[in-house]
Amino acid sequence: MLTDKHYDFKNEKNYLDETVKVLDTEVEYLANEIEKSDEELSGLKKRVGGNYSDELIAKLTIHDSYERKLKMLKRAENKPYFGRIDFKELGKENLEQFYIGKTSVTRREDDRRFVIDWRTPLASLYYSGEIGDVMYTAPDGLIMGELSLKRQYEIANREIMNIFDKGLTPMDEYLQDALWQKKDNRLRDIVTTIQREQDDIIRADENKVIIVQGVAGSGKTTIVLHRIAYLMYTYQEMFQPEKLLIIVPNRLFLNYISDVLPDLGVEEINQTTFEDLTMKILDMDIKLSSSEDKFYKLLSCPNSIDSDNEKLKFISWFKGSLLFKDILDTYIADLAKQLSPKKELKVCEYTIFSQKEIIDMYNIQYSYLPLIPRLKRIEKYVKDNIKNRMKVTLEKIRIEYDNKIKRIKSEDLNEEELRQKHIEIYDERDNEMEKLNKSSMTSVTNYFKGFSDIDIAEIYKNIIRDKEVLSKYTKEKVDEKYCDFI
């Protein structure tokens, strides 16, 4: 439709012009505040000299919030909003107009809000509400009322290009125009085109575990990223960006989604590939065959039955199969039996933890843990309890030597001989106890030393590189020629 022929065009143009002025004023204000804050922080950091300061923490928090808001306003300066709803709350006389954008725009002098953030509870009416009686959930409870207008805009360079009214213009026309405005091959936000079913997922309860299923290209990733932005806005105290992690299949995909969250006002969230995360956790520098190289080989090798091409296909399937998982599970189960503790933990010939006690921890109490964490957990338990166990053992030693003292009293000794015997027994007892105390942690360290030397990478390589080991676990499951190739 011709925009300037819309019955409300003049009012809409005036509102946009006023909103742009407010936005520009706020951008200028925030830029000045950040500049002043930079100078204050510089001086304050020098004064505290690296020590903790509540004042410094407070000023840094304010400075960061100003910077985040400034970024969002600058992103919105050419298109401050994309939608509008007219809503009359039940029990109130006046009909109110709410303009919806990626970030809120508020006039500082009178606190008048020209644009509300798309993530606010009220904005949910724009996505899921239909003209007529509606309701939405706010922090204060359920709000009911009447939705009389739902309007969408195309705005470019601070000019209204098009206006679409629910019920007066075909909304699919707006949706198609918006979806075809993709400027490059990167994923972009869909805040202007979110559909009701998508909005339900985005705004679902924060305590729910959500699995989004759909065919390739159906928008699963987009919805998940918008849900993250919604959660970060709605539950700011609960969700801290640096504690969130997005895992994607590959770096190409990482680049593909890189602009979405910053455009939605969410910064500093860790994003990584499964491969990079694995390398970080394993703390290893391993050169992996790239999927691109493997794909090239599969395309370039002759497709004969005995070629490396066939074997490469098999290995690509095999290492990601449930069969390989079952083989590894069996291999690890056997390894766990081999690593099961074979003796009690002694300190100077005194048994502090019996073999049965340690085996029970290994096979029963902590059996739910993977092999290495299980051994570390047992070691932690021992170290946490060694002090109390030593007290019990030392008390037994005291009793033993007290009994020796009692026995020599019955011997036919004069006073000097008895005194000398007492001294000898007490010295022997004190030396024994001192030796025990000194040896306790060393004995624990030595006991678990063999377990700490376990190299998970070498264990994995062993089943891959040692044909005898591999054949043992793949017997009658994998052709011998593939074992040679692996």
What are the domain boundaries of the chain? 3-181, 187-287, 337-454
% residues pLDDT > 70 (the chain): 91
321: left (phi over 0), alpha (psi -120 to 50) or beta: beta
Section 134-148 average pLDDT: 93
Residue 67 confidence (pLDDT) above 70: yes
Residue 306 confidence (pLDDT) above 70: no
The distance in angstroms from the start CA to the end CA of the chain is: 65
Model confidence pLDDT, tens digit, residues 345-362: 999 889 999 999 999 999
Cα-based distances in Å from 251 to 228, 229, 241, 297: 20, 21, 20, 21
Do 347 and 390 form a contact (C-beta atoms < 8 A)?
yes
Which helix (H) or strand (E) is 97 found in, with range?
strand 96-101
- Lowest mean pLDDT segment, chosen from 106-110, 131-135, 415-419: 415-419
Residue 181 confidence (pLDDT) above 70: no
**Which residue is it, tokens 């499951």?**
477
Q: Which residue has the higher pLDDT, 36 or 410?
A: 36
Section 219-234 average pLDDT: 88
d(CA 259, CA 273): 16
- Threshold 0.85, pTM exceeds: no
pLDDT at 2: 61
* Entry field: residues in the chain: 486
Q: pLDDT band at residue 177, thresholds of 50, 70 and 90?
A: low
- Lowest mean pLDDT segment, chosen from 144-153, 382-391, 402-411, 433-442: 402-411
Residue 300 confidence (pLDDT) above 80: no
Section 5-22 average pLDDT: 94
CATH topology of domain 187-287: Rossmann fold (3.40.50)
Residue 170 confidence (pLDDT) above 50: no
Residue 90 confidence (pLDDT) above 90: yes
Residue 262 confidence (pLDDT) above 60: yes
Number of Cβ atoms within 10 Å of the Cβ of 105: 24
- Lowest mean pLDDT segment, chosen from 94-103, 250-259, 447-456: 447-456
Comparing C-alpha atoms, which of 177, 112, 125 is closest to residue 151? Answer: 125
Do 378 and 361 form a contact (C-beta atoms < 8 A)?
yes
Q: What is the mean pLDDT of the chain?
A: 85
- Lowest mean pLDDT segment, chosen from 68-82, 120-134, 416-430: 416-430
pLDDT at 287: 75
pLDDT at 169: 46
Which helix (H) or strand (E) is 201 found in, with range?
helix 196-202
Q: pLDDT band at residue 302, thresholds of 50, 70 and 90?
A: low
pLDDT at 35: 94
Cα-based distances in Å from 129 to 145, 147, 271: 11, 7, 34
Section 323-341 average pLDDT: 88
Model confidence pLDDT, tens digit, residues 429-485: 899 899 988 998 899 988 888 776 777 778 888 888 888 888 888 877 777 777 766
Most confident segment among 51-60, 110-119, 287-296, 297-306: 110-119
How would you class 226 by CB atoms within 10 Å of its CB: exposed for 0-12, middle for 13-18, buried for 19 or more? buried
Q: Which residue has the higher pLDDT, 314 or 70?
A: 70
pLDDT at 119: 93
